Structures are given as structure tokens and as C-alpha cells.
Structure 1
């Protein structure tokens, strides 16, 4: 039985708790930790078994027998907590984004390597059936070489969203919608087609003058084959419609799933190609549905890894690649330059100090509240 603890019992922790409870024959939550212990106590009341409650995670990892910790705290704390847990000999599943800087990612990965422990970064959309189906179709090559990609990471957050004490600042949240919302779609992009060679970007804050960070950014990625990918990261889009569209030489495929294929008439104008569409649809239909999706799918993935049955799909190296794309977007937007990848340790957005010094501060944070009464959240990922 794998013994689990959760550090940070805010809104996202519910997804972790519910997912672990899906595998009660394989794991057991034994401890909860939060700087507001009353939040952890409220969560513990939902369990039939006794849970230990802590306000200090270091005390928890010293006193409890734990195999795996979910880190669900604000982004600026991820590196220190993850490294401390790994150094204590415990495996870690850390929420997105992996850290506030690439330098911190390096330290986290080194701690995992040195202690021979599993470090996995939450990227729950990789475990959604439509996403796995799309990845399979892309890997087949039937759509042809990809020439254009459109990523719409559209979310909506009200003005009060940035009133929470750790949100809306470069120091504590680490960035705005590009880092904390579009991270899901940027992760899927680099997982599906790899890393681009350069990035240009613009960012703005158009509706939240109570936050230092951006609420809208648009980035253009250029790949070695001259494919362009456009990424819109937003918390100002009503409806939260989220799409990934891949235009191949043979066909267009996307999530939500849609396939359209064209062939050329003699004059170069398009003619529908039902044969290619049928082949792609058949391949999409063949891929099985996931038994466990989202956070449950990812937690099953790390449980299988701890049971010695596979490697985790999203390790710290993958987590760093996603953050590298995001930091390149921030560097391009803040310094108004085209940024070459990969980023190096000499790049201004490689370290946390560099980010704090060079990022664009749109407004001052105007309010700091400890907690919201409601912990209902939207986590996207409905790609049906």
C-alpha cells in the first residue's frame, strides 16, 4: 500500500484527493498539510480513516511514513518543498507549473536524480482520451507534415480572482495566464510536436488592473521546418473554449476532434478528400478510451511507476521543457525580442531573480485576502 500525503489543501487539492480515492486498494492518504490547518481539517472530515494534520510540511515528512507527496501549493513554493521532500527519500507529484524558474527546475531534477526518487509534474490533459487519440493520429503521419498550429488556451477569471494573497504577483504566482493557465496547452504542444527554434510574443493586462501579471498573451513559435504555431493565453475569454488545431499537408485535425482533408484541383483550388478523412477518422476511432482520465489518469501513472511497472509519462525533464517555452514567451514579450531556443543559463528569464528584474509589471496588486469562501474552480480539458 502506497502511503500518500498532500501539501497544500487549496482548491486544486480536491482533484488529487478524489483521484487517490479512486485507487484505495493501492494507496492511502495518511496526512494533510496546509499553513491554514483548519482547511486541512475540513478536508480530513470527508475521510473515514484517521488522517494526521500538519501546518509544517517539514514536521510532517519527519514524523510520518510516506511514499508519495502531492505538492499543491502556490508556484513560488514548489521548488523548495519538492527538494525537501525528495531529500527526505519521498517521491513527489508536483502541481503545474513545475517551478518559478528554469534554475529551480534544474535543482528539482538534480534532487530526484541524486535521491533516486520519482518526480512527476502534473499535466493531467495528457491523460484525457481525446488528447491521447489526437497524439496517436499525429504520430501516424497520415495528416502529413505539420505546417501550422493554433493553440487557444481560453479561460475567464473575474476581477476578484487576483485578490487571493499569492496571485497576481511575479514573486509569488510567477506569472499570469501564460504560466498558470496556458501551461496545460503549452505542455501538450511540446509533447505532441516538440520544441520550436524561436519565439516572438506580446503580452498585456486588459481587464485586471489589480495584478502585476498579464491576463492575455499571444506568441508565435517557429519550428525547424518553418511551421508556425500561434498560442493565445487568456483569462478574458468568455466560454473558456480551448482548442488545439494542427494543419498538416494532407489534412486538418484537432481537439475537439475534427478532421478535414483537401486535395488540389488542376487550378490549385481545394477539393474535399473523403478518402484521407476516412482513414484519419478510422485511426482516431481505433484508439481506446482511457479508463482513468485527468488527475486520476496521472495519479494512476505515478502509482504504476512506484509499483515498478513503467516510467512516469511526465517527469521533471518534461516539466522543465514546458516551463522553458513559457519563459521564452515572457522573455520575448517583456524585452520585445525574438528569443532563440533552447534558453541558456545566461538568458535573463532562466533564473527567478532574472524574471523578477526583467518582467513587465502591468499594475500593482491592490488586495490581499487569505481565502475565498468558495473553492469551486474550473480546470478545463473538456475536449469532447
Structure 2
């Protein structure tokens, strides 16, 4: 039997614990270390006797054998830490976004190629059953020409969300609402319909002026390079709980709407000469106590990573695609008509 892939998790907050859980549940994976500044000294025991380290540097010096390090730290740290990992000859998984600057993301992509290593971006929403189904509709051209696409993401992020971690809401470490909360849905937009142009953006900060360096709400309109037009509306100012994350398509041969809090429900499927298949049940959202995040699809990401590492199969989420999404976000912010608290 082939040895398990060895992982270390860098950053043991909400998302780091989720990755550690996914590693432990996959029979082809093994967690060999947890790394976080909350650990003041290096100890030999953790849950399940996993060694823990207070810094990436101290872990690398330990020479514990590892195949992949998972970067789950604040957004603004992703680039430098991923660069150090790749320069150490180790594959890396990077939570979204892989960097807060597309030029830095391109450096990581080039470095991984130069070192013959894998750079795995995390965009797990692509694996949800409604998203996979939508991709099949696009690939088979069942919908015909795409006329209009609308994405609406209305979430709640309260004061406790920002005050519980000092990096949240900062321009240097968080980056902005489109990087931290809604890059998953911009990734779905790019994955399904391609790049956008003729962008117009309007932003406002309604509920978080005392907590963040950037907007909490916005309206974006654009055209697709492949034809058709679209809009992306978002807010984290919704009272009490998340309202919805929805995607509506108006096309030549019909209309589709994916709704629910996390694009987890097919609400409408009206397509000429088409019988909708039964989809697998969508996983529940990640519940972090005072807030909820996107659906729990990380297990599919790890299944793909194992196939790539073991059998050289297709990488489902490429660094190039993640870079294009970062460029999209940069373009959206640069088209801010009112220059509301966000500069690029």
C-alpha cells in the first residue's frame, strides 16, 4: 500500500481546523504538524499526538517529512508564506485568495513551475452539485447564447466577526469584501462565463465604518467577453443572518436560478426540451458560531489533490484561473465610481 500524503496546516483558525479535519478524514492523507502563532512553544503533542509549531520557520527547521503545506493564515500573509514554502521544495495549498495582488500571484505560479511543484488554490464552491450542473449546461450549450447573468450575495457580518480577529477588516491583511467574503462567487462567475469587461462599480460602507478599511456593500455591472451582460450585487450589512447567495441566468433557450444562502438550491429550471436531472444533496454551510460561511466542499478538493499527486490527473482549480479572479477583483475596485474607502 502506498504511503499517505503528508500535510502540515499553517494557520489554525476557523478554516485551518476545517482543513485539518478534511485531512484526517481522507484515507490517503496524514496530518504531520499544526503551525500557528498561538502556540508559544513547540511541543510534541497536540490532538492525536500531532506536533505543533509557533512558526513556519521552526517547522521547516524540524525537518519533519511533509509533502504539502496548507496555508490558512490571513490573506495578506499568503504570498510570502507560499513563496517560502515553494522555495523550500514543498507543494502548497493556499486558501483564497492566493495573494492580494495579481502580480504576486503570478510570481507564485511561475515559482511552482520552476520548482516542478504544485500550487493548489482553494475554491471549493466549484464542487457543489448545483455549480457542477451549471457547468455541464454551459459546456453542452444547452442554454444557447447567454443574455444576462445576475449574482446576488447578501450576508451578515456583525461586529463580533471583525473584533474577534484583529486582521479582519484591515486593508493589508484582509484586503476587502470581494477578496474575503465573495471571491468564491466571482470565481464561479469566471469559471462558468469567462472574463468581464466594461466594468462599472459603486461601493458603500453602511454598517462597518468603525471596523473596516473598505466597503461592505456594492453594485457591479459588466459585459462578458464571450457575449451577454451581467451584474454582481453584494453586502455584508444584512441584519442578523445571511440572506442569500443566488445566480440567475437568462439565456436563448431558457432561464435558471440557483438560490438559497450559498447557491445550494435550484429554484428555477425552465429550459426548452430539457429534463433536469436529480442532483446530489448540497453540503451544509460551514458554521463558525457567530457567522456562517460557504458550503462544506473541501473534501472534494482533497480528493482532487490526491488524484493529481498520485496519478497526475487534471487539476480542477488552476493557479491561472485564480490569478484571473484576482485580476477581476482588481479591475472591479479600480472602476469604483465614488472611490469609497478602497484604493488600488
TM-score > 0.5 by shorter chain = yes
The 5-angstrom pairing of residues 1-384 of structure 1 reads 1-23=4-26, 25-37=27-39, 45-47=46-48, 50-63=49-62, 64-163=64-163, 164-175=165-176, 177-210=177-210, 211-224=212-225, 226-237=227-238, 238-255=241-258, 256-261=265-270, 276-277=271-272, 279-281=274-276, 284-285=277-278, 294-333=297-336, 336=337, 360-361=340-341
Counterpart of 1:84 in 2: which secondary structure? helix
Provide the C-alpha distance between the structure 2 equivalents of 1:55 and 1:314, rounded to a whole number of angstroms.
Answer: 30
Q: Which has the higher strand share?
A: 2
Counterpart of 2:311 in 1: which secondary structure? coil
User: Is contact 1:127-1:293 (8 Å) kept?
Assistant: no
Higher relative contact order (CA 8 A, sep 6+): 1
Q: Measure how far apart 1:133 and its partner are.
A: 1.2
Q: Measure how far apart 1:167 and its partner are.
A: 1.2
Q: Alpha-carbon deviations, 1:240-272, whole Å to 9, x = none?
A: 3111111111111132314454xxxxxxxxxxx
User: Is contact 1:218-1:230 (8 Å) kept?
Assistant: yes
User: Is contact 2:196-2:224 (8 Å) kept?
Assistant: yes
Where in structure 1 are there 5+ consecutive unaligned residues?
262-275, 338-358, 363-384
Provide the C-alpha distance between the structure 2 equivalents of 1:122 and 1:230, rounded to a whole number of angstroms.
Answer: 24
- Which 10-residue stretch deviates more, 138-147 or 79-88? 138-147
Q: Measure how far apart 1:59 and its partner are.
A: 2.1
CA RMSD of aligned residues (A): 2.4
Counterpart of 1:156 in 2: which secondary structure? coil
Provide the C-alpha distance between the structure 1 equivalents of 2:41 and 2:333, rounded to a whole number of angstroms.
Answer: 34
Where in structure 2 are there 5+ consecutive unaligned residues?
259-264, 284-294
- Which 10-residue stretch deviates more, 7-16 or 249-258? 249-258
Provide the C-alpha distance between the structure 1 equivalents of 2:140 and 2:257, rounded to a whole number of angstroms.
Answer: 14
Provide the C-alpha distance between the structure 2 equivalents of 1:205 and 1:58, rounded to a whole number of angstroms.
Answer: 38
Q: Measure how far apart 1:161 and its partner are.
A: 2.1
Provide the C-alpha distance between the structure 1 equivalents of 2:42 and 2:123, rounded to a whole number of angstroms.
Answer: 24
Provide the C-alpha distance between the structure 1 equivalents of 2:297 and 2:110, rounded to a whole number of angstroms.
Answer: 27
TM-score by length of 1: 0.77
Given the superposition, is the C-alpha separation of residues 257 and 246 from structure 1 closer, same or farther in structure 2, using an over 3 Å criterion? Answer: same
Q: Alpha-carbon deviations, 1:81-131, whole Å to 9, x = none?
A: 001111111111100111111111011111111111110111010111121
Given the superposition, is the C-alpha separation of residues 240 and 39 from structure 1 closer, same or farther in structure 2, using an over 3 Å criterion? Answer: farther
TM-score by length of 2: 0.85
User: Is contact 2:95-2:122 (8 Å) kept?
Assistant: yes
Q: Measure how far apart 1:293 and its partner are.
A: 6.2
User: Is contact 2:254-2:272 (8 Å) kept?
Assistant: yes
Q: Which has the larger radius of gyration?
A: 1
- Which 10-residue stretch deviates more, 323-332 or 32-41? 32-41
User: Is contact 2:193-2:224 (8 Å) kept?
Assistant: no
For these two proteins, the number of residue pairs brought into alignment is 316
- Which 10-residue stretch deviates more, 302-311 or 320-329? 302-311
Counterpart of 1:81 in 2: which secondary structure? helix
Provide the C-alpha distance between the structure 2 equivalents of 1:293 and 1:180, rounded to a whole number of angstroms.
Answer: 16
Counterpart of 1:188 in 2: which secondary structure? helix
Q: Measure how far apart 1:226 and its partner are.
A: 4.6
